[in-house]
Amino acid sequence: MAKEIDIDEIIDSLTGTCESLDSILDRHNLLYENLNDEHFSEIDSRIFQCTNCGWWCEQYENHEHPESGEWICDDCFNEIDSKE
């Protein structure tokens, strides 16, 4: 029988860290392969990993980098903005 996946718990564990999804899944005794498209969609709809600093942040903190177009967090965006 497949293990019940509490995606809220996984998202809570990721948010505010720079850990990899694999390390969080390992902590919850899960593998990447245990997640399905709905799980990944739920993660993507609520959090993202900043491509600049690597921290997992809530979606409302998501900004497009002015030069690269990658998704960055509030802190990284404000740092770039203050340099201009």
Write out pLDDT tens, residues 38-77.
999 999 999 999 999 999 999 999 999 888 899 999 999 9
Count CB neighbours of 56 within 10 A.
22
In which band, very low, low, confident or very high, does the pLDDT at 1 lie, cut at 50, 70 and 90?
A: very low
How much is the average pLDDT of 4-24?
Answer: 95
Q: Is the pLDDT of residue 2 over 80?
A: no
- What is the pTM assigned to this prediction? 0.85
pLDDT at 43: 96
Q: Report how far apart, in Å, the C-alpha atoms of 13 and of each of 23, 39, 55, 68, 77 are.
A: 10, 14, 12, 28, 24
CA distance 79 to 15: 20
